[in-house]
C-alpha cells in the first residue's frame, strides 16, 4: 500500500482495495472462510434455532482506556447474541472509512478486533470496506452482524420477568462511561478507570449451565443500568425494586460521577449483564457468576415487583427514589 | 469518598429521623423552603422526605439558575450562536432548556451553530486561545458560587489580551431572591403558600458567608439555617430549624461549618466586585422583576461584555402557555398541579425550565418521586 | 446549590493551578480564588475552581453533633414509657 492514510482508491474495489483487505484485514482476522475471498461465507448450519444480531458502532473517541471501537464492535455483537442465550459463532464486519484516516489507526483497530474475536471464540467470516470523502465520516464506522445458535429450552427474553424473581448484576457499573468521558475534550480528568469492554458469552454459558431457566438476560450499555431495567420492566409489565447498597460501584467511578454531576445508574457499560431468575435459584446463579472472572463482583441487587413500570430504589441513606429512564444523553452539570 | 460518604450514612440518618420526629410538635406543621435547587435534588435523590414526619414538608424554592433564567436571555444566547457566528461556550445544564418556540441550544447545535459544552471557564478561555480568528462568548449563569470563576476568567482574558473572548452575563444573587420571596403576597398571612423557615444554600454561602442573610431574617422574622449539601446535612438543618421555630427564634444559623464561615471567601468577593456591578433590576423567570438581584459586567471591562460587543435584537420571547414554572419556582404550586406535568412535559420533551434542569422541582419529582402521592 | 465536591490537593502548579484528587480521579483546577493552598489541603471544587478550604475539625464536630442527636433514642424510649 502506498501512503499512510486511507484515500478514495481504497474504496474503489480495485487493486488498492484488494491490497488493503489482504494486507490489513486478513492479516488480523484471517481464518479459512475469510481467506477464501469469496463473495459470501458458506457455513454448515449449526442447529435449529439461530440468532442473528446487528449493530452499528460510531463511538468517539475511537481509542479509550481499556478498549477501542474495534473491541467494542466485536464484544457488543457477541454480547447481544449471548443475551439471547445463544452461543456466538460467526461475525461479519462492514467498515466505512473516512478519506485521510491513518492506516496505522485502522491497523490497531482491526488487530483489536482479531484479538477480541479470538478471545470470544468467534470468527469474522465476511466483511466490506467503503471509503467516504473527508468530512463525511468520523474516522471509521463499523457495523457488525453476528450469528449464534441457541439450544431448545433456553429462552431468556425481555418479557420474562415475573413478580418475586431476583435481579442480579454481574459487576461494577459505569466503568465504560467514565473511561470514555475522561477522554472527551473539555472534560479531561485523569483516571485509572478502564472500560469494562468484554465478551460475556463465557459467563453466560456458565450461568445457563447452573440455572437453565434464567428468565431475562440483558446487557446495560448506553443509558446505563437504569435504561436496561426500565426496558425490562416495561416489556414484562412488572416493576423492579432495587437496593442501592448492593449495587457494585468502583470508588473512582463514584468520584468521577460526583465531579461531573452524573448518575452511575445512567452511565454506560460494555461488559456487564443483568440476570433475572426465580428467587429460589438466585443463590445458585450468584455462585456461578462469582466463580467466573467476569462475574467476580456479581451481586443480587433487587427483586421484581407487581408495580408495573415502576423501577424504584431504596437508597443507602434509607429513603426511596425512582430510577428513571433517561432517553437522552447524560450531560455534565454545574448545579 | 472523604468528607462525602460519612455525611450519607444511613445509620446516622435513622437517628436524626427519630430525633426530628420527637421534637416536631404534632400540633404544628413546618413548611421549610429549601432555596437551592441542589438541595431539591439531594432531597429527592436520597429520598429524604421519607425520613421526615408528615408534618414537616419541603417547599421547593427558585435556587436553580437554569430555571430562573428568563426565556428572553436564552433566546439571546441562541441568537449569538446562530446569527453572530460566535463560538458559544456553555455549561451542560443549559443545553436542553427550551426557549421560545421550543428552540434550544442543543437544537441550534444540531442545525450547525458552533455551540460547545464546557465544564469550566478555563475551558472557554482555552477555546478562545485556540481560535484567535473567531469570537468566543461564554454563556455565564449561576448564583454566587459560580460567579467568581467568571470574574477570574474575565480578568485572565484581560491579562492575556484575549480580545476574542467575552461573557454573556446572567449571574444572579441569593439574598435578594430570598428577601423577595418572603416579601411576596404569596407568603403573607392568607397567601397561597406558607414558609416557616429556610434551608440556606451550601456553596453560595461558602462564597458570601452567613452574614448576608441577617437582613432578610430580621426583616421577616423567619429563621435561616445554612445547610450542607449532603442528606445528613439537610436533616441536621431541618432539626435546627424545627428547634428555632419551636423556640420562637429567628436567626441565621450555620450547619455547614466545615465550609461556611461568617464572612465567606473574601478574595472571591473582591474579585467579583472588581468585575461586576449590581443591575438595578433583573427579570427572573417565575419571580418577575426583582430589584438589585443580578450582576452586569462593569464598564471598565466592557471589552469582555458580550452585551456591549454584540447588538442583540428585540424579541417576542414567550413561554409555553399553561406552563406553571413561575408558580412552581415560587413554591406555591407543586409540579403535579401543572396541567403539563407528564402530559407532554417530561425530561425528554421539556416545556419549561423546571423540567429540564436536574435541580428543577419538576424534573426531581418526575425522575425520582413519581411513585409518591403528592404530599 | 451548585455541584461542588471536596477534593484533596495533591500537587501545586504554576499560574494558580493545582491538581485535585478524589478516589484516584485527578483534575487540574484553578486556585485563583484562594489565598494559600498547600498539598494535603481539602478544598471544595466547583466548575474547575477551588472555592473554599474544608475544615477537618469542623467536619468531625458536625458528624459528632449528628451522632449525638440520634444517640438519645434509648433515653427517648425510656421517657415514653419503654420500647
Asked if the bond preceding B24 is cis, omega within 30° of 0, the reply is no
Whether residue B182 contacts residue B175, with contact meaning beta carbons closer than 8 Å, is answered with: no
| Structure confidence at residue A45 (pLDDT) | 83
Q: Residue A252 is nearest to which of C25, C45, C47, comparing CB atoms?
A: C25
Residue C7 has pLDDT above 70, yes or no: yes
Residue C78 has pLDDT above 70, yes or no: no
DSSP B210: S
Q: ∠A189-A191-A196 over CA atoms, to 5°? A: 120
Nearest C-alpha in C relative to B234: C66
Instruction: Test B4 with C5 for CB contact under 8 angstroms.
Output: yes
Query: Would you kindly state where each structural domain of chain B is located, as residue ranges?
Result: 5-63+174-254, 67-173+264-309, 325-366
Residues of B in contact with A334 (CB under 8 A): 91-93, 142, 146
Cβ-count burial of B255 within 10 angstroms (0-12 exposed, 13-18 middle, 19+ buried)?
buried
Nearest C-alpha in A relative to C46: A334
Residue range B26-35: average pLDDT?
95
In this prediction, residue C1 has a pLDDT band, given cuts at 50, 70 and 90, of very low
Handedness of CA B226, B230, B236, B238 (dihedral sign): positive
Assess B117–A contact: CB distance below 8 Å, yes or no.
Answer: yes
Nearest C-alpha in B relative to A189: B119
In this prediction, residue B219 has a pLDDT band, given cuts at 50, 70 and 90, of very high
Type and span of the H or E element at A255: helix A251-260
Whether residue A54 contacts residue A145, with contact meaning beta carbons closer than 8 Å, is answered with: yes
Nearest C-alpha in B relative to A261: B358
In this prediction, residue B375 has a pLDDT band, given cuts at 50, 70 and 90, of very low
Question: How much is the mean pLDDT over chain B?
Answer: 92
> Regarding the domain delimited by B67-173+264-309, which CATH topology (the fold level of the hierarchy) does it fall under?
Rossmann fold (3.40.50)
Residue C30 has pLDDT above 80, yes or no: yes
Q: Could you tell me which of A219, A250, A225, A254 has the C-alpha nearest to residue A240?
A: A225
Instruction: Test A320 with B17 for CB contact under 8 angstroms.
Output: no
Residue B19 has pLDDT above 90, yes or no: yes
Identify the residue whose cell numbers are 473554599.
Answer: C52
- The top-scoring range by mean pLDDT among A316-330, B65-79, B175-189 is B65-79
Residue C76 has pLDDT above 70, yes or no: no
Residue C81 has pLDDT above 80, yes or no: no
Assess A329–B contact: CB distance below 8 Å, yes or no.
Answer: no
Structural domains of chain C sorted by starting position, each given as residue range(s) with its CATH number in brackets: 5-79 (2.30.30.140)
The three cell numbers of residue A55 are 449493530
| Structure confidence at residue B308 (pLDDT) | 96
Whether residue B20 contacts residue B53, with contact meaning beta carbons closer than 8 Å, is answered with: yes
Q: Supply the CATH classification number for the domain B5-63+174-254.
A: 3.40.50.11750
> Whole-angstrom Cα distance, residue B364 to residue A321?
10
Structural domains of chain A sorted by starting position, each given as residue range(s) with its CATH number in brackets: 8-149 (3.30.1330.10), 166-322 (3.90.650.10)
For chain A, residues with pLDDT lower than 50 are: 1
Q: Residue B10 is nearest to which of A318, A321, A333, comparing CB atoms?
A: A318
User: For residue A117, which phi and psi values (nearest 5 degrees)?
Assistant: -70, -35
Task: Give the distance from residue A138's alpha carbon to the nearest chain C alpha carbon, in angstroms.
Answer: 28
Residue B77 has pLDDT above 90, yes or no: yes
Residues of B in contact with A320 (CB under 8 A): 47, 50, 371
Residue B206 has pLDDT above 90, yes or no: yes
Tens of pLDDT, residues B269-323: 999 999 999 999 998 887 889 999 999 999 999 999 999 999 999 888 877 888 9
Extract long-range pairs of B298-303: CB within 8 Å, 24+ residues apart: B298/B274, B301/B154, B301/B158, B301/B275, B303/B158, B303/B163, B303/B166
Task: Collect all residues from C whose CB is shorter than 8 A from any CB in A.
Answer: 1-3, 5, 7, 22-27, 45-47
| Structure confidence at residue B352 (pLDDT) | 85
Residue % of chain C over a pLDDT of 90: 73
Amino acid at each position: 500500500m502506498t501512503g499512510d492514510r486511507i484515500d478514495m482508491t481504497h474504496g474503489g474495489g480495485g487493486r488498492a482495495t484488494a491490497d488493503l483487505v489482504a494486507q490489513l484485514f486478513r492479516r488480523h482476522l484471517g481464518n479459512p472462510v475469510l481467506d477464501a475471498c469469496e463473495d459470501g461465507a458458506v457455513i454448515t448450519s449449526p442447529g435449529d434455532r439461530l440468532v442473528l444480531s446487528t449493530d452499528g458502532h460510531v463511538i468517539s473517541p475511537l481509542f479509550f482506556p481499556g478498549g477501542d471501537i474495534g473491541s467494542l464492535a466485536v464484544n457488543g455483537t457477541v454480547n447481544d447474541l449471548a443475551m439471547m442465550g445463544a452461543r456466538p459463532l460467526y461475525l461479519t464486519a462492514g467498515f466505512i472509512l473516512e478519506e485521510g484516516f491513518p492506516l496505522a489507526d485502522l491497523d490497531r483497530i482491526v488487530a483489536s478486533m482479531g484479538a477480541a474475536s479470538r478471545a470470544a471464540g468467534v470468527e469474522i467470516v465476511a466483511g466490506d470496506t467503503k471509503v467516504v470523502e473527508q468530512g463525511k465520516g468520523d474516522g471509521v464506522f463499523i457495523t457488525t452482524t453476528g450469528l449464534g445458535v441457541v439450544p431448545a429450552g433456553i429462552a431468556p427474553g425481555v418479557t420474562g420477568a415475573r413478580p418475586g424473581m431476583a435481579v442480579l448484576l454481574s459487576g461494577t457499573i459505569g466503568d465504560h462511561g467514565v473511561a470514555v468521558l475522561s477522554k472527551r475534550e473539555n472534560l479531561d480528568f485523569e483516571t485509572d478507570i478502564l472500560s469494562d469492554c468484554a465478551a460475556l458469552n463465557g459467563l453466560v454459558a456458565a450461568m445457563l449451565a447452573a440455572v437453565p431457566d434464567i428468565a431475562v438476560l440483558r446487557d446495560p450499555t448506553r443509558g446505563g443500568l437504569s435504561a436496561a431495567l426500565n426496558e425490562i420492566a416495561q416489556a414484562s409489565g412488572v416493576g423492579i425494586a432495587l437496593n442501592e447498597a448492593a449495587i457494585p460501584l468502583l470508588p473512582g467511578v463514584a468520584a468521577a460521577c460526583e465531579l461531573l454531576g452524573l448518575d452511575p445508574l445512567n452511565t454506560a457499560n460494555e461488559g456487564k449483564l443483568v440476570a433475572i431468575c426465580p428467587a429460589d435459584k438466585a443463590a445458585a446463579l450468584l455462585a456461578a457468576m462469582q466463580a467466573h472472572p467476569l462475574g467476580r463482583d456479581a451481586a443480587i441487587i433487587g427483586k421484581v415487583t407487581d408495580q408495573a413500570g415502576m423501577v424504584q430504589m431504596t437508597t443507602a441513606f434509607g429513603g426511596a427514589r425512582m430510577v428513571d429512564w433517561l432517553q437522552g444523553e447524560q450531560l455534565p452539570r454545574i448545579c | 469518598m472523604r468528607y462525602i460518604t460519612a455525611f450519607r450514612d444511613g445509620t446516622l440518618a435513622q437517628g436524626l429521623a427519630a430525633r426530628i420526629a420527637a421534637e416536631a410538635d404534632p400540633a404544628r406543621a413546618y413548611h421549610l423552603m429549601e432555596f437551592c435547587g441542589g438541595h431539591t435534588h439531594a432531597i429527592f435523590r436520597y429520598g429524604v422526605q421519607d425520613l421526615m414526619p408528615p408534618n414537616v414538608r419541603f417547599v421547593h424554592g427558585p435556587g436553580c439558575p437554569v430555571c430562573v433564567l428568563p426565556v428572553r436571555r436564552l433566546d439571546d444566547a441562541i441568537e449569538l450562536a446562530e446569527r453572530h457566528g460566535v463560538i458559544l461556550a456553555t455549561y451542560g445544564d443549559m443545553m436542553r432548556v427550551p426557549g421560545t418556540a421550543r428552540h434550544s441550544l442543543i437544537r441550534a447545535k444540531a442545525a450547525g451553530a458552533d455551540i460547545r459544552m464546557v465544564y469550566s471557564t478555563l475551558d472557554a478561555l482555552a477555546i478562545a486561545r485556540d481560535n484567535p480568528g473567531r469570537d468566543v462568548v461564554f454563556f455565564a449563569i449561576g448564583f454566587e458560587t459560580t460567579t467568581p470563576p467568571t470574574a477570574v476568567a474575565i480578568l485572565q482574558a484581560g491579562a492575556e489580551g484575549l480580545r476574542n473572548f467575552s461573557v454573556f452575563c446572567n449571574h444572579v444573587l441569593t439574598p435578594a431572591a430570598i428577601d423577595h420571596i418572603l416579601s411576596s403576597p404569596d407568603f403573607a398571612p392568607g397567601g397561597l403558600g406558607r414558609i416557616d423557615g429556610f434551608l440556606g444554600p451550601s456553596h453560595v454561602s461558602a462564597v458570601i458567608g452567613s452574614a448576608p442573610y441577617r437582613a432578610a431574617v430580621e426583616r421577616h422574622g423567619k429563621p435561616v439555617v445554612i445547610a450542607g449539601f449532603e442528606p445528613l446535612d439537610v436533616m441536621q438543618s431541618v432539626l435546627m430549624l424545627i428547634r428555632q421555630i419551636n423556640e420562637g427564634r429567628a436567626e441565621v444559623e450555620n450547619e455547614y461549618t466545615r465550609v461556611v464561615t461568617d464572612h465567606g471567601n473574601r478574595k472571591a468577593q473582591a474579585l467579583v466586585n472588581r468585575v461586576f456591578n449590581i443591575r438595578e433590576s433583573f427579570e427572573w423567570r417565575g419571580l418577575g422583576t426583582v430589584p438589585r438581584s443580578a450582576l452586569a459586567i462593569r464598564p471598565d471591562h466592557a471589552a469582555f461584555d458580550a452585551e456591549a460587543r454584540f447588538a442583540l435584537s428585540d424579541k417576542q420571547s414567550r413561554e409555553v402557555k399553561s406552563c406553571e414554572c413561575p408558580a412552581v419556582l415560587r413554591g406555591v404550586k407543586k409540579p403535579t398541579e401543572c396541567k403539563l406535568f407528564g402530559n407532554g412535559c417530561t425530561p425528554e420533551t421539556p416545556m419549561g425550565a423546571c423540567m429540564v434542569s436536574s435541580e428543577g422541582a419538576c424534573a426531581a419529582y418526575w425522575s425520582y418521586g413519581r411513585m409518591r402521592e403528592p404530599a | 446549590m451548585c455541584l461542588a465536591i471536596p477534593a484533596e490537593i495533591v500537587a501545586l502548579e504554576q499560574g494558580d493551578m493545582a491538581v485535585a484528587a478524589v478516589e484516584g480521579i485527578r483534575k487540574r483546577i484553578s486556585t485563583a480564588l484562594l489565598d494559600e493552598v498547600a498539598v494535603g489541603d481539602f478544598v471544595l471544587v466547583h466548575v474547575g475552581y477551588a472555592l473554599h478550604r474544608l475544615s477537618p475539625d469542623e467536619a468531625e464536630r458536625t458528624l459528632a453533633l449528628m451522632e449525638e442527636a440520634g444517640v438519645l433514642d434509648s433515653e427517648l424510649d425510656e421517657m415514653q414509657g419503654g420500647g
